[in-house]
Amino acid sequence: MELEIELHEKAFKAAVLIQRWFRRYMARLEMRRRCTWRIFQSIEYSGEQDHLKLNYFFDYLVDHFMTTSSKERDFINRVFSESDIPKDPKLQKACNYELIQVPDHYKGPRLSFPLSLDDATSLVEAFKQQQQLHAYYVLKLFHETLKHLSQLPNISSLSTCYSEITVCGDLHGQLNDLFLIFYKNGLPSPAKRYVFNGDFVDRGKQSIEILIILFAFLLIYPQEVHLNRGNHEDYMINLRYGFTKEVMRKYKEHGNKILKLLRHVFSSLPLATLIDSKVLVVHGGVSDTTDLEQLARIDRRKIFSLLTQKRKSEKILRLTEAGPATISNASNQSDVPKLGQPEELQSCCQQVGKTKGLETSSGSPEEGTELEIKSLEPEEMEDTEIKQVLDILWSDPYPQNGCRINQERGGGCYFGPDVTEKFLQKNGLQLLIRSHECKLEGYEFCHNRKVITIFSASNYYAIGSNRGAYLKLGPDLTPHFVQFQGSRRASQLTMTQRISHVEETAYQALREKMFAHRSDLSGAFKKLDVNKSGVITLSDWATAVESVLRLGLPWRMLRPQLVPRLIGGKLDYNRWLKDISMEQKSTNQERIQSSLLETIYRNLPNLETIFSVIDTDHSGLISFEEFRHIWKLFSTHMHIEIPESSICDLARSIDFNKDGNIDFNEFLEAFRISTQNTD
């Protein structure tokens, strides 16, 4: 008997030890997963900040660059203006789908208007077979969608009394996730209503197919399918995050027509959906100034992009056309306010200090030029309207009370539980549903369960990084969540394997970020190495890395993965930087100088965006004249100095195929050559 009791005690102790070990093991896995998540999210938000800064720079150039010829004025007008189909006969003709012929040998899906359910299901099956819809049908579908969306209010109203409503979050071009939602939940129908809460495009590879399917179901079931606008339904965002390139790659000569038409389709999307007058569905969130009545009155179709606010460019061009004397006189008039720069533009102002007509670093105009004095602030009402839309598309919830600028994203705000509570009480609401943020489990409650984030793109950062989810609301307005995993590979991995794979991907992205800022890191390390010993403490390493990358990461916790070797508890930073450089160069196919590779890594997203802005017809080519004009505008922003007299010779020299145009690879080559000239 005593022996049996002793055996039971030993078994119990063993079970307790195993349980403790397992809990510690799971806790370590969870910590690794959270650290990996922080890396991905910080890098994502950093990219959004960079893009917003580039757009601030575009605005600053439009507002301040002093053109010296009619060609330069026309060029700036063409590059930075937002086209309008109703006022542009050429564009209207270019987007006319009736001029496009569908060849007899076309084997893809065909649509007949008005659309039927058979048309939608044939699209779904065709896209599963990797078929492509002909440009004729795409343009016609988008034209019909634009007509329908233009008749809708800014805030759609739905009721759950007829059937439950399914709310889906970001899809980001991941068509398989949309197919999985339809498989699990059913296709849209009178008994199966959907709200898709924005960010249909970018990042994924099948954004255009998602739009085609959603728009088709929207036209077939206009009362059952509802689409909200997200922050990625913005053509300036599309230039950076892949949708523009996807459309041009798939539709080539018709791609530009599709993209220009989509500007108007995106701007016509409703801004929010109200369910039973109790649940508000918006893409981003709210702020302490969000006003639903004002949102309902805004002419949303005028907002092609929240990142291009150039409402005073026509006034500037009129002043410029009048000549320097007129500008000088105008600057002395009382009705022209003095130059007032928002804080976020200060760095841009410094970077363009050498541009003709701007203040130099000493604060005075360059010799022989006139300084235009004007206000950067838009009219108060317009600015208020833009902020209303910006806040609901870009904002994120925050655990602390208050409302502050969203510095991490560079747009919108962080709103706390108190802001949520006041907003809900003011509008008689009980729940806010939003998307905009990737969540580990596909959804998340916050603010005393009064805010729900729903995200429907699984494996968003890497295979196994997150689940997707959608929610269902019935008459009781109690949310029911359905999670899914869109990748078979991720489903087959164990939790440990999944976390290890995602972790490896995250650290590789972080090392690339470090490599892109290698020179800045070296300078920061040297400042902290007061004895010039070549080694620094781990604390100094963490301080220096954060001061350069500004990602807000727990660097000391990440150190074992990033700093494998120490000397007496200290880091040989020159050796560490060399190791990072060798790793990145070994993964790059081009054999180019380390300094050039670093510069390209750092500026590639900006370079792609700049090239896309120049390439107004999205043909993938820019002319010599466009190249010359744009180089003057952007050389200071990219910290590249090259004499204007050499630009034309440079353009001819990098036109390798001698076709009189420059493609993006040639554009990159010009960037590398000019950087070599300044080294």
Instruction: State which amino acid sits at residue 301.
Output: R
Per DSSP, helices labelled H in 223-369 are: 235-241, 243-251, 255-268, 292-297, 313-322, 324-330, 346-351
Instruction: State which amino acid sits at residue 109.
Output: P
Given 51, 64, 172, 232, which residue is catalytic? Answer: 232
Name which of 435, 481, 475 is nearest 181 in CA terms: 481
State how far the alpha carbon of 144 is from the alpha carbons of 166, 254, 283, 307, in Å: 24, 18, 24, 27
Pair type for strands 431-434 and 413-415: unpaired
Q: Which two tokens stand for residue 42?
A: 């910080």
**For residue 462, which phi and psi values (nearest 5 degrees)?**
-165, 165
- Return d(Cα 461, Cα 474) in angstroms, integer: 32
Instruction: State which amino acid sits at residue 569.
Output: G
State how far the alpha carbon of 320 is from the alpha carbons of 73, 120, 197, 328, in Å: 9, 52, 43, 10
Q: Do you know the residue count of the chain? A: 679
Tell me how far apart the terminal alpha carbons of the chain are, to the nearest angstrom.
86
Residue 300 · residue 267 · CB < 8 Å: yes
- Half-sphere exposure for 281 (CA within 13 Å, toward CB): 32
Label residue 521 exposed, middle or buried (CB < 10 Å: 0-12, 13-18, 19+): buried
CA angle 280, 286, 292 (to 5 degrees): 60
For residue 378, give the 3-state DSSP assignment: coil
Element (H or E) spanning 397, and its range?
strand 396-397
Residue 403 · residue 413 · CB < 8 Å: yes
Name which of 603, 660, 602 is nearest 627 in CA terms: 660
CA max distance for the chain: 109
- Return d(Cα 481, Cα 452) in angstroms, integer: 11
Residue 468 per-residue DSSP state: E
The reply to whether 264 belongs to the active site is no
- Return d(Cα 546, Cα 513) in angstroms, integer: 12
Q: Which two tokens stand for residue 223?
A: 């009362």
Residue 436 · residue 483 · CB < 8 Å: no
Q: Which two tokens stand for residue 428?
A: 């008689």
**For residue 398, which phi and psi values (nearest 5 degrees)?**
-140, 140
Pair type for strands 621-623 and 279-281: unpaired
Residue 36 · residue 325 · CB < 8 Å: no
- Return d(Cα 615, Cα 617) in angstroms, integer: 6
- Return d(Cα 15, Cα 22) in angstroms, integer: 10
Q: Which residues are catalytic?
A: 232
